Each structure stands twice: as C-alpha cells, then as structure tokens.
C-alpha cells in the first residue's frame, strides 16, 4: 500500500526520533560523556558568580526542609538496628588490637589538649570553682565520706564484737537510740556538718593550689607523663571498661535521647537560628563566593562528577532506563502538531 503525503511527516519524525535517541545514547558513554559533563559544568560554574544565594533558594523553604528531616521525619526501626550492628563491628574490629592510641591521636594534639585544660582561668579552673561553689555537690561528697566512715566503724565493731569495750559501746548506742533519740540524731547531723566543712575546705585548698603555678605545672607534667603511657595502649583498651553490651546500650540511650530532643522547641529554635545566620552571612553573596568559602573548588566538583556520573549513566543505559526516558520525552516532541507541520512543509 502506497504511502500518502500525510504519512511522510510521521515517517520523517520517526526517523529523527531514532537518530536523536541513538545520538544521545552514544554521548552518554565513556569519554564522550565525560567531555560533555566537563563542558556543561564550565557553563554552569561560569554563571554561579552572578547568582545570589537568596535568589537561588528561599530561606523559609530551607527552614522547612531542615525541620522536616530533623524533627518531623519518622525514623524507621532499621536505623537503630543498623547502629547496633555497626557498634558490634567496631567492638570486634581486628585492627583495634594492633592500632595504638598514639597512632590515632598525635602527641601534638594530646599536648595541646592537656595544656588547654591546665591553662590559667581555663576549663579546669572553672570546673573546680563551680564544683566548690555547688552546695549539692558538697552534700554528696560529705554523704559519701560519712557512709564510708560508718561502714568502717561497723566493720571494726564486728571485729571487736566479743570485747568488753565493744559490748559497752553497743549498750551506750542502744541507750541513746531509745532514751535520747534526738541526741543520737543530732550527733549524726553534727558529724555530717563536720564532714561537709572538711569537704569545703579541701575544695578550697584545691582551688588555691590551682592558683599556684608550680603545682599547676607539676599536675600538667603528670598528665603529660600519663599520656606517654596511654599512647602505647591498643585501641581495644576500652574493652577493660566497656563491654559489647554496654556499647549497644549507650547507642540505644543516645538514640532515645535524640528521639526526645528532636521534639523540643529548643532544637526547632536552633534550626531557625542557624538558617537565619547562614542567610545573614551569605544571602547577598554569590553561589561562587559560598563555594569558595566552604572550600569547594571547580576541580573537586569535576572529580566527583567524573567519579560517579559515568557509572550511573552506564547503569541507566544497561537497564534500558536511559533509552526509555529519551523515547518518552522525544516522542512527545516529534509527535507534536508544530513539528509535524514543519516536517510537512
């Protein structure tokens, strides 16, 4: 059956479709695709210095996205399970037995960290000052000392339970408890107060010691000497203090904390504050300035695209996804009335 003139545009459109699909499939392979990427990337990056961050993305949308993933997104059960499995792998990692702490943490970093702790008016000074001024902490220490003292006295009484002195002491204590309970309780309270006073004095002495440069230097040298010992320990040394179950439980506790923390108004406020500051700092700057500030260069972008995109393109071609995508979209173009009319002329 002879084809009419009306069929000619359709045939031509079909031929053009096949030709263009073939053209793009060839250009999505190997060196051709890498050259195409490099050329197009140059065009894109050349425009970045003319586009402000505020023009490229809306501040409110960034806040909404951050909240959506940090606060609203439901976390699947596979995530904590994955964390637990990773914790197990870390715990059993063979390299931890042969790798020393000093190979992971350098001497310079450890020294700077220790010096920072012991510097005048530094972290240690503020910690001791806050502890010394903390009434609950003084109560806690005095209670600990009092409990230890009571235990010691009880133990000594057990050792002397058959002696006449111990028998007399018990009788006096029993008489005080029955005949003068207030006196017995008052005596215990006075002992507690004495303990607390001693604790306060000891903490003040520590505070005064920190003001003495000689003692501070001695303490810092002791810490540095301890580091010389620790740096030779294998990474598995933590197993002496932390079991595999402990590690898993800490992971679970951290996960449970995050589930609660992510629903607090504080986190939401922090997200908004962070986004506000980011746009305050970079909103009027170009996207190129932003990339420069965070250390992302043209070469880095090119290298990463070359690293991943060709493999992705090869996979899309292999699975037939690239061809079907091209055919679906180009078919609509070549079947459009405007193209058919042009081909009929």
Mean pLDDT (whole number) for 117-131: 76
Q: Are residues 203 and 105 both part of a single domain?
A: yes
Within this chain, do residues 33 and 60 fall inside the same structural domain, yes or no? no
Question: Residue 245 falls within a domain, yes or no?
Answer: no
For the cut 70, the answer to whether the pLDDT of residue 262 exceeds it is: yes
Backbone φ and ψ of 100, nearest 5°:
-90, 155
HEC sequence for 166-191: HHHHHHHHHHHHHHCHHHHHHHHHHH
| Joined tokens for residue 285 | 């700057």
pLDDT at residue 189, rounded to an integer: 60
* Nearest of 137, 149, 151, 147 to residue 202 by alpha carbon: 137
- C-beta separation of 197 from 205 below 8 A: no
**What pLDDT is recorded for position 316?**
92
Whether residue 1 is predicted with pLDDT greater than 50 in this model: the reply is: no
**Gyration radius from the chain CA atoms:** 37
- What is the model's pLDDT at position 85? 83
Instruction: Return d(Cα 265, Cα 210) in angstroms, integer.
Output: 40
Per-residue confidence at 92, pLDDT binned at 50, 70, 90?
confident
Give the pLDDT of residue 123: 76
**Same structural domain, 182 and 81:** no
Q: Are residues 298 and 332 in the same domain?
A: yes
Asked if residue 157 and residue 114 are part of one domain, the reply reads: yes
Query: 229 with 298, same domain?
Result: no
Same-domain status, 87 and 104: no
Model confidence over 204-247: pLDDT tens digits? 666 565 566 667 788 888 999 999 999 999 988 878 888 878 87
Select, from the ranges 54-63, 163-172, 247-256, the one with the highest average predicted confidence (pLDDT): 54-63
What DSSP letter does each residue of 209-244 carry, written as one string? HHH-HHHHHHHHHHHHHHHHHHTTSBGGGGGGT--H
Q: What is the pLDDT of residue 174?
A: 57
At 249 the pLDDT is 83
The DSSP letter of residue 57 is S
pLDDT tens digit sequence for 270-324: 999 999 999 999 999 999 999 999 999 989 998 998 889 889 999 999 999 999 9
pLDDT(148) > 90:
no
Is a pLDDT exceeding 80 seen at residue 27? Answer: yes
Treating both helix axes as pointing N-terminal to C-terminal, what angle do 78-92 and 244-261 enclose, rounded to 10 degrees? Answer: 150
Instruction: Identify whether residues 118 and 211 lie together within a single domain.
Output: yes
How far apart are the C-alpha atoms of 83 and 75, rounded to whole Å?
A: 13
Q: Are residues 181 and 218 in the same domain?
A: yes
| 214 assigned to some structural domain | yes
Share of the chain above pLDDT 90, in %: 35
Nearest CA to 69 out of 261, 253, 257, 262 is that of 262
**Residue 128, both tokens:** 């001791």
pLDDT on residue 137: 64
Look at residue 127 in the predicted model and tell me its pLDDT.
75
pTM (2 d.p.): 0.66
Residue 105 is predicted with a pLDDT of 92
The domain of 261 spans 56-94+250-281
Residue 206 sits in the same domain as residue 261: no
105/205 same-domain check: yes
Whether residues 219 and 148 share a domain: the answer is: yes
**Nearest C-alpha neighbor of 132 from the set 141, 120, 145, 123:** 141
Burial 43-56 (b: 16+ CB within 10 A, else e): eebeebeeeebeee
The reply to whether 291 falls in a domain is: yes
Report the SS3 class of residue 297: coil
Query: Which CA distances in Å does 84 have to 12, 77, 92, 239, 335?
Result: 61, 11, 13, 17, 55
Residues 6+ apart with CB under 8 A from 254: none
Decide if pLDDT at 153 tops 60.
Answer: no
Q: What is the pLDDT of residue 327?
A: 94
Q: Is the confidence at residue 15, as pLDDT, over 80? A: yes
| Residue 243 belongs to some domain of the structure | no
Quick check: 161 pLDDT over 60?
A: no
Whether 239 is covered by a domain: the verdict is no
**Domain contains 23:** yes
Indicate the average pLDDT of the chain: 80
Does any domain span residue 86? yes
Q: Is it the case that residue 168 has pLDDT exceeding 60? A: no
Q: Is residue 333 part of a domain?
A: yes
Contact of 272 with 66, CB cutoff 8 Å? no
Total of domains in the chain: 3
């Amino acid at each position: 059956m002879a084809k009419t003139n009306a069929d000619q545009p359709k045939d031509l459109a079909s031929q053009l479709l096949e030709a263009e699909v073939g053209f793009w499939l060839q250009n999505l392979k190997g060196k051709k695709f890498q050259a195409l990427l490099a050329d197009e990337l140059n065009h894109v990056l050349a425009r970045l210095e003319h586009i402000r961050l505020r023009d490229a993305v809306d501040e409110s949308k960034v806040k909404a996205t951050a909240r959506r993933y940090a606060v609203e997104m439901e976390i699947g059960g596979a995530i904590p399970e994955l964390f637990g499995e990773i914790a197990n792998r870390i715990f059993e990692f063979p390299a931890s037995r042969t790798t020393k702490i000093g190979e992971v943490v350098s001497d310079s970093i450890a020294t700077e960290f220790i010096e920072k702790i012991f510097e005048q008016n530094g972290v240690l000074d503020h910690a001791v000052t806050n502890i010394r001024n903390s009434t609950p902490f003084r109560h806690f220490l005095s209670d600990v000392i009092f409990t230890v003292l009571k235990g010691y006295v009880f133990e000594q009484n057990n050792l002397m339970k058959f002696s006449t002195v111990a028998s007399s002491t018990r009788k006096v204590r029993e008489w005080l408890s029955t005949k003068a309970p207030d006196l017995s309780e008052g005596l215990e309270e006075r002992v507690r107060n004495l303990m607390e006073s001693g604790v306060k004095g000891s903490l003040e002495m520590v505070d005064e010691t920190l003001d003495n440069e000689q003692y501070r230097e001695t303490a810092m040298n002791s810490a540095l000497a301890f580091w010389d010992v620790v740096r030779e320990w294998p990474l598995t040394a933590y197993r002496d203090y932390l079991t595999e179950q402990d590690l898993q439980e800490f992971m679970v506790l951290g996960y449970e904390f995050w589930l609660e923390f992510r629903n607090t108004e504080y986190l939401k406020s922090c997200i908004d504050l962070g986004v506000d500051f980011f746009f305050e700092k970079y909103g009027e700057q170009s996207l190129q300035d932003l990339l420069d500030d965070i250390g992302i260069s043209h070469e880095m972008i090119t290298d990463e695209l070359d690293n991943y995109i060709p493999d992705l393109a090869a996979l899309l071609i292999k699975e037939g996804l690239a061809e079907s995508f091209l055919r679906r979209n180009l078919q609509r173009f070549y079947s459009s009335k405007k193209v058919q009319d042009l081909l009929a002329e």
